[in-house]
Amino acid sequence: MAMLWNLSAGQRIVVVVLALVVVPSVVAAQQSPVYVGATFNAVTQTHSEAEPMGGTVPGGSAVFGVQVSRRVAIEFEPSFGGKYSWEYTYRPSPTSIADVVATRRDSFYSLQVRTRVGVLEPVAGVSYVHGRISRHATVAGTTYFDDSRTDQGLAAVLGLDAAVKVASHVHFVPTFRALARARENSADDPLGEQTRPGRFVFRYGAGVGVTF
């Protein structure tokens, strides 16, 4: 995982997708009706000048699934990422300068369907997005204002996993997710505007899955 951090976001995505495609034939879908898993991820949030929150942070996820047929499973996947932040200054008066730190931390709670296509396991579903956003401003080291709240939204989820069997009931699982947020209107909302992320989130990493 450490080597991934030395690559650009686009290069990291390509590396993970290629790793999933070339997983050898020892890959196998879960045979038990119940399985759980956990992964360590890098989470890349897109952004632009108009969408100041973004970048790549470490994260983690868990999965709880039930096999409903030989090739189809239904699962719940919560995932969590680190905090995004940026800083700016402005003059609230001609004689003072305010230093502002804006932050955002998102959690994703996904309900999804997993299928098996050869050695690969595509995933698709929908995610409830819960964000914590805030601004903290100081003038000459003294608090000028504090804004904070939570916000909610939805995102579509597409992903690709594989499960490399390393022991009975234990799999090594490389994983990739792409999430597309629903568009949000934050007009006349300074806190929302200054903590707005881009529409797309990419999550890639590896973990362990256990069947029962």
Total-model pTM = 0.83
pLDDT tens profile 90-132:
999 999 999 999 999 999 999 999 998 877 899 999 999 999 9
Residue with tokens 């047929």: 69
pLDDT of residue 49: 85
Dihedrals phi, psi of 2, to nearest 5 degrees: -60, -35
Q: How far apart are CA 103 and CA 133, in angstroms?
A: 6
Q: For residues 121 and 115, is the Cβ–Cβ distance under 8 A?
A: yes
Distance from C-alpha of 76 to C-alpha of 102, rounded to nearest angstrom: 31
Convert the pLDDT of each residue in 43-62 to its tens digit: 999 999 889 999 999 999 99
Q: Does domain 2-211 have CATH number 2.40.160.20?
A: yes
User: How far is residue 58's CA from residue 80's CA, in Å, rounded to a whole number?
Assistant: 9
Lowest-pLDDT choice from 26-30, 80-84, 161-165: 26-30
Whole-angstrom Cα distance, residue 81 to residue 66? 25
If 0-12 CB within 10 Å is exposed, 13-18 middle and 19+ buried, where does residue 176 land?
A: buried
Neighbours of 182 (CB within 10 A): 11
Q: By the 8 A CB rule, do 60 and 52 touch?
A: no
Structure token pair of residue 97: 């300068």
User: How far apart (Å, rounded) are the C-alpha atoms in residues 145 and 161?
Assistant: 45
Task: With cut-offs at 50, 70 and 90, classify the pLDDT of residue 24.
Answer: very low
**pLDDT for position 29:** 43
Q: What percent of the chain has pLDDT over 90?
A: 70
Which residues on adjacent β-strands are paired with residue 170? 167, 210
11 contact partners, CB below 8 Å, separation of at least 6: none
Domain boundaries, the chain: 2-211
